[in-house]
Amino acid sequence: MNELKHLLEPYPRVFVVYDRKVEAKALQLSEGHKAFAIDADENHKTLGQAEDICRSLMNENANRDALLLTIGGGITSDIGGFAAGIYKRGIRFATVPTTLLAMVDAAIGGKTGVNLDGYKNMIGVFHRPEFVCLIPEFLETLPEKELRAGKAELLKTFLIQDGENYTKAVQAIQKGEDLLPFIKKAAAIKQSITDQDPREKSLRKILNLGHSWAHAIEWKSQESISHGDAVAMGIIRAARLSENLNIAPEGLTDSITADFKACGLPTECPYADTELLQAILKDKKAGGKGLDIILLENIGKAVIKNISADDLLEH
């Protein structure tokens, strides 16, 4: 709390946008600043809600020197960051992530946006936060399903680039130990990757490990399988493909599957490989150029490989 106060000191005017579900704590943190509540669900992640935020800022005579602080999960930072990115052609933005997923992923890297006609994140801008303030107490009220989603993204980040912390994080999750050191490490990895490739021209794509499958699983299940669970299942598929293409050593998939199970993450999805691959190919509209798929050479080492549709279906 004091850390946030300190971080906000340099900004002459601060406006807060917070998720209604964390209202009590958010209002405490917003003391002395004008604060607006939003409904943080995908149906409200819209241009209309971003417009409402802009209107509230205008009604409060917010100028270019204002800072917009979001307090909430990825939906709140995506909408609030987007509103900050477009209000008066851009005011500064900062965030207090309140979900595990936002702490390790959504709050970092400057992607902001809203959905359009049910299509996710169709409209958005790159707008980097001035700072991300971690307040771990928010995790105490987070539902199990949301914690699982965050754990999947946390382990994904270490699988991509930090094998040592992957093993340690798996153990910490299993034993129910404090995850804060791992949250900080995973956030730093995402920060470093997005600093090197802010606009996702190449390197940043590795953060999408497992996500091609995850999107297909979510779509096929008509969203009854959550994004977090789909990511865990997708990572297992990516590992299996890496093995089948002889990119990863034999046994890698079994080893990650055992780790995920021990961490309470789902590993098996109800759809056959071919069904999912058809959906992936359709989604990505893979032409003659093939698809950029994120694969694992080993634990802690992800690579981007361009794979033809034929090879994908064969393996």
Ligand X SMILES: NC(=O)c1ccc[n+]([C@@H]2O[C@H](COP(=O)([O-])OP(=O)(O)OC[C@H]3O[C@@H](n4cnc5c(N)ncnc54)[C@H](O)[C@@H]3O)[C@@H](O)[C@H]2O)c1
- Please list the active-site residues: 89, 111, 153, 190, 200, 204, 208, 211, 215, 227
- Among 29, 72, 104, 291, contact with ligand X (rule: CB under 6 A): 72
* Nearest residue (CB) to ligand X, 82 versus 260: 82
Work out how close the CB of 28 gets to ligand X at its nearest, in angstroms, rounded to a whole number. 13
C-alpha to C-alpha distance for 82 and 123, rounded to whole angstroms: 9
Q: Rule CB under 6 A: is residue 169 a binding residue for ligand X? A: no
Q: Rule CB under 6 A: is residue 54 a binding residue for ligand X? A: no
Q: Rule CB under 6 A: is residue 109 a binding residue for ligand X? A: yes
* Nearest residue (CB) to ligand X, 95 versus 253: 95
C-alpha to C-alpha distance for 67 and 11, rounded to whole angstroms: 7
- Among 8, 74, 129, 218, contact with ligand X (rule: CB under 6 A): 74
- Among 35, 102, 152, 159, contact with ligand X (rule: CB under 6 A): 102
Question: Which stretches of the chain are assigned E, i.e. beta strand?
Answer: 13-19, 34-38, 66-72, 92-97, 111-116, 119-126, 291-298, 301-307
Work out how close the CB of 40 gets to ligand X at its nearest, in angstroms, rounded to a whole number. 4
C-alpha to C-alpha distance for 216 and 95, rounded to whole angstroms: 30
Kindly provide the b/e burial profile for residues 28-50, where b requires at least 16 CB atoms within 10 angstroms of the residue's own CB. ebbeeeebbbbebeeeebbbebb
Q: Rule CB under 6 A: is residue 75 a binding residue for ligand X? A: yes
Token pair for residue 112?
């902001």
Which residue, chain included where needed, has tokens 């990825």? 74
**How far are the Cα atoms of 60, 81, 173 from residue 24, in angstroms, in the given order?**
23, 22, 28
**Contacts of ligand X in 170-189 (CB under 6 A):** none
Q: Rule CB under 6 A: is residue 156 a binding residue for ligand X? A: no
Work out how close the CB of 182 gets to ligand X at its nearest, in angstroms, rounded to a whole number. 17
Q: Rule CB under 6 A: is residue 17 a binding residue for ligand X? A: no
* β-strand partners of 19: 38
Question: Which stretches of 80-214 are assigned E, i.e. beta strand?
Answer: 92-97, 111-116, 119-126
Work out how close the CB of 146 gets to ligand X at its nearest, in angstroms, rounded to a whole number. 5
Q: Rule CB under 6 A: is residue 269 a binding residue for ligand X? A: no
- Looking at residue 131, its amino acid is F
Residues that bind ligand X (CB under 6 A): 19, 21-22, 40, 45, 72-76, 78, 98-99, 101-102, 105-106, 109, 111, 120-121, 138, 141-142, 146, 149
